[in-house]
């Protein structure tokens, strides 16, 4: 039993005519006749009585009509929902990032792209590095912005565009013992207590963490619920925090000191190479063009 047979049956039932049913379905009368004959053969009984003057449903036809109409309604509704879902998927873009690595630069680029594509549904969500990689792999994320201390941390099967390279800064209260320093190293921070909002970074995305790990030293830290809470603790001297050098610091009550290290953070736009969604392709090309135009990645030596 095929859907076109059911459509033909319902049209004949509702119009009382094979010819009118054919006109309604934009086909020829012999096609409608063939569909009804096939349906009657499969059901094992006649669905209509035919005379030279009219076509009338049999008792079997009446019984079948209600269920057939209900089934067709459900099928049509399902088809519409699938098409709507496909349209949403086609016009949606899911962007992931790890805390601190959706910086003011790429946030502005994403906003500008959204303004240029008002019919697109663009969502941006934060997750751990592991969850972002998982999302890129299983397709729940179209792309992501990641800062890493080594490119090797990004799986080889993912595409990537390098946006910029940068070091880190150490943010301390203005009365902190390090506040007047021109720069600091890991050795200067061994006894300090770091404070982080939401989650503690790792050696994957923090230069300080990587330097401590390489030295087999323990970094003392506290995790608080809000970014404002972390910065307030820094302001009063109850902790310090390390941030990517390009991160905006929205308070005048702290000092930002360059952190001296051989390591840099490489900030990437990353995607699944199998993603062929047209909207994603446009977004990827847009980000790549903006990064190239901004020329944030130096040719030769990386930024300290």
Which bin fits 143, alpha (ψ -120 to 50), beta or left (φ > 0)? Answer: beta
Q: Are 270 and 144 in contact (CB under 8 A)?
A: yes
Using only C-alpha atoms, the chain has a radius of gyration, in whole angstroms, of: 32
The predicted-structure confidence for 180-198, as pLDDT tens digits, reads as follows 899 999 999 999 999 998 8
The predicted-structure confidence for 96-150, as pLDDT tens digits, reads as follows 998 777 676 788 888 899 899 888 888 888 888 999 999 999 888 999 999 999 9
Q: What angle do CA 254, 258, 261 make, to 5 degrees?
A: 140
Backbone phi, then psi, for 242, in 5-degree steps?
Answer: -105, 135
C-alpha–C-alpha distance, residues 144 and 132, integer Å? 7
Question: pTM above the 0.75 mark?
Answer: no
CA 171 to chain centre: 32
Residues of the chain with pLDDT > 90, as a percent, come to 53
Q: Which of 140, 48, 130, 59 is nearest to 94 (CA)?
A: 140
C-alpha–C-alpha distance, residues 173 and 178, integer Å? 9
pLDDT value at position 126? 87
């Amino acid at each position: 039993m095929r859907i076109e047979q059911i459509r033909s049956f319902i049209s004949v039932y509702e119009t009382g005519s094979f010819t009118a049913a054919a006109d309604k379905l934009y086909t020829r009368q012999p096609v409608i006749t063939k569909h009804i004959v096939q349906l009657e053969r499969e059901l094992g009984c006649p669905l209509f009585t035919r005379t030279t003057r009219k076509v009338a449903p049999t008792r079997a036809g009446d019984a079948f009509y209600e269920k057939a109409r209900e089934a067709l309604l459900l099928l049509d509704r399902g088809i519409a929902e699938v098409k709507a879902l496909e349209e949403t998927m086609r016009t949606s873009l899911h962007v992931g990032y790890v805390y601190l690595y959706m910086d003011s630069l790429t946030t502005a680029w994403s906003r500008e792209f959204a303004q240029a594509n008002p019919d697109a549904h663009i969502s941006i969500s934060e997750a751990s590095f592991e969850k972002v990689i998982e999302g890129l792999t299983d397709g729940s994320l179209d792309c992501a912005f990641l800062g890493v201390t080594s490119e090797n941390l990004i799986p080889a099967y993912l595409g990537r565009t390098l946006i910029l390279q940068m070091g880190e800064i150490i943010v301390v209260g203005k009365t902190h013992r390090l506040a007047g320093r021109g720069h600091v190293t890991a050795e200067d921070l061994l006894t300090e207590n770091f404070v982080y909002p939401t989650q503690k970074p790792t050696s994957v995305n923090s230069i300080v963490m990587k330097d401590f790990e390489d030295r087999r030293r323990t970094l003392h830290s506290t995790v608080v619920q809000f970014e404002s809470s972390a910065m307030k603790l820094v302001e009063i001297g109850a902790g310090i925090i390390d941030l990517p050098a390009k991160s905006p610091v929205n308070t005048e009550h702290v000092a930002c000191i360059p952190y001296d290290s051989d390591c840099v953070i490489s900030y990437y736009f990353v995607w699944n190479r199998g993603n062929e969604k047209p909207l994603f392709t446009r977004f990827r090309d847009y980000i790549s063009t903006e990064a190239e135009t901004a020329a944030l990645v130096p040719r030769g030596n990386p930024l300290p």
